[in-house]
Structure 1
Amino acid sequence: MRIGILGTGGMAAALGGAWSAAGHDVVIGGRNQGRAEQTAGRIGAAGHGSLAGAAAHGDAVLLAVPAAEAPHLVGGLAGKLSGRTVIDCTNPVVPTSDGLMLDTGGVTSLARQLAAAVPDAHVVKAFNLCHASIWTLRPPAFEGVPLAVPYCADDAEAAAATETLISSIGCTPAPCGGLARAAYLEATAALAIGLWWAGQQPRTAFPSLAETPV
């Protein structure tokens, strides 16, 4: 699959590297061409270029930029993103005295804001629950079980593309409903990241039903 990646940071490199290793055609796009070239070279991507170039390249496009910049950035690329699957892996969170809080205005998810900014694209929320380092594992598996990747999508073809990208790096797709439920993934990320920062292990709070008494 052709994948355009908008961004040159940790998530762009980690997921781009995983997809490149899986045989996908990855192009890194950035505002700084030096950084885009450096990231592409480090992960073995097929190429690099501008944000617009990466958007136009991808059948699927990963949005891996700071959450606060995301709506404006994709809005400016709306023409390039038309008809494409746009995967939002961002986490719109801010630190407060009471821990991490969502920074979405309390109205909707960032993913829904992105969908409004690019109405002719197919936005998917995915890959936002794990630290970038997890995506450098080949494959990401724990205690012998492949990592599950929750995602939210409205469009069937975009959901299928996302499942292909998840499965191709050795993970298990975990569909969580339409984009209206993306707010739950963003809230889960805020909770999990806060627990990690506090030295806790979020997964110990979710035992398998198979491990619980009936």
Structure 2
Amino acid sequence: MSVTPREQLPTLRGRQTQAAIDAAARAVVARKGILATTVADIAGEAGRSTASFYNYYDSKEAMVREWAVRFRDEARERSQAAAQPGLSHRERSYQAAAAHWNTYRNRLAEIVSVSQMAMVSDDFAQYWSEICSVPIGLITSLVKEAQRQGYCAGSDPRLISVALVSMLNQFCYNQLAGQATHAADSVDDAACIKTLADIFYRTIYHREAGNHE
């Protein structure tokens, strides 16, 4: 991904204005999705003029490109919790599920924006592919290690990881942004993470009948 965030604004007021625009954009995008969101929507939510928006971003697409870069490294850092040595299979499953859920919880607008723009733009399709490659790579390595221990024998590690990441993405989206009348703040984070962790564990750390430890 070649886009880099704009240099930090030199004045406190400028940084505060951009932060207000970003916060407003996230709120609108979480409600409407990026494709239905206009610059006027964002400016109105922020209580600023549309001209103020263009002081910081050339377009809503340019804004999303900067967002994508900002959270990419955060997602990678979160995912590494599941790769720590010394974890039990249950703990590793929980850490992987929690990392995915918390990334969606904290960066919902960014993820929704990039994934929706990927449907209509080759550039954003590439961004989305790069973002998804982080958990896919991690889970692929976990599956390979599990197979060395006798679990999920005969399955393709990458296909398992792609299937799991697809499920994780859709579940997180449905719970946090999938219903216009559904308040994300009312979602039970602990219950959602446990559900995802259980699915993760049962998918990777299972043995065929008659092949138990």
TM-score (norm 1): 0.34
Greater RCO, 1 or 2 (C-alpha within 8 Å, sep 6+): 2
Q: Which is strand-richer, 1 or 2?
A: 1
Task: Write 1 or 2 for the structure with the bigger share of helix.
Answer: 2
* Structure having the higher Rg: 2
